[in-house]
A = this chain, B = another copy of it.
């Protein structure tokens, strides 16, 4: 059914939709190949095994997204000053750019990232951190400059809270958007979602720091 050299690509196209919707573990190679209209054995021929296919699916998006984010951040950092919202706004256009690259690209990418953090333990997280640690460092640099009063430990925790809110929302965005559309009788686009997420995250990260009793005996030395 598949034309000459397009089998490899058809697998990727089918796989990303299924992975985004059902997770990596819950998507079988049989489901993928039947949706792609190719033979079961072709996955192993082209990708070796399922794990490699998973990384290929995510890698295709990361290669598109990360360089775009990097250049946004570089532009921002060249400015004299900027707000926390400016920092988080940097992800908007790289993310929405994925919609041109592929239909529903932003949603798919966000779901995949979310799945990568929860479904499989470790190997995708590691894949992302080591491959794109330069971009991630730029991001934390920007956050620090937007609010220099953040101590490293508070920063550390708040960035992880942020990651959690984003990733979780992304992973369940299909379900959440459905509920929202039923309840509020309005279509929810990826753009809407990002517009809602950004101020929430910026406010959380920039929140005043409480000197709660149990946290006063502080002595920060870390760098991460």
Contact = CB atoms under 8 A, between A and B. Distances in A.
Q: Is the interface of A mostly helix, strand, loop or mixed?
A: helix
Given A200-B158, A204-B201, A185 B221 contact: yes
A84 to B, nearest CB: 11
Nearest to A122: B175
Contacts of A182: 222
A26 B193 CA distance: 30
Query: What size tier do the contact residues of chain A reach?
Result: 35 or more
B118 A171 contact: yes
A161 B169 contact: yes
A35 interface: no
Given A184-B219, A199-B208, 9 more contacts: A153-B186, A157-B193, A158-B196, A160-B168, A161-B168, A161-B201, A196-B215, A199-B210, A202-B207
27 contacts: A23-B119, A25-B25, A25-B26, A114-B168, A115-B118, A118-B118, A118-B119, A153-B183, A157-B169, A157-B197, A157-B200, A160-B169, A160-B176, A161-B168, A161-B200, A164-B165, A164-B167, A165-B168, A165-B204, A184-B221, A195-B214, A200-B204, A200-B205, A201-B204, A203-B204, A203-B206, A204-B204
